[in-house]
Amino acid sequence: TVVLDQAAEIDCDRWPEVPGECHVVMPRINRFMVFPGELRHGCMPVDDFRAPRWVILFNFWQSHVPSAPSCKVPDFTSYNPVSAWAVTLKYYLLPDTLRALA
Give residue 87's pLDDT: 64
Identity of the amino acid at 94: L
- Under a CB-based contact definition with an 8 Å cutoff, are residues 38 and 9 in contact? yes
User: What is the C-alpha to C-alpha distance for residues 90 and 87, in angstroms, rounded to an integer?
Assistant: 7
Q: Enumerate residues 6+ apart whose C-beta is below 8 A from 15.
A: 6, 7, 9
Report pTM.
0.53
- Report the share of the chain in percent with pLDDT over 70: 79
In this structure, the dihedral spanned by the alpha carbons of residues 70, 56, 24 and 41, taken in order and rounded to 10 degrees, is 0
32-77 pLDDT per residue, tens: 888 887 888 888 777 787 777 777 777 777 777 777 776 766 665 6
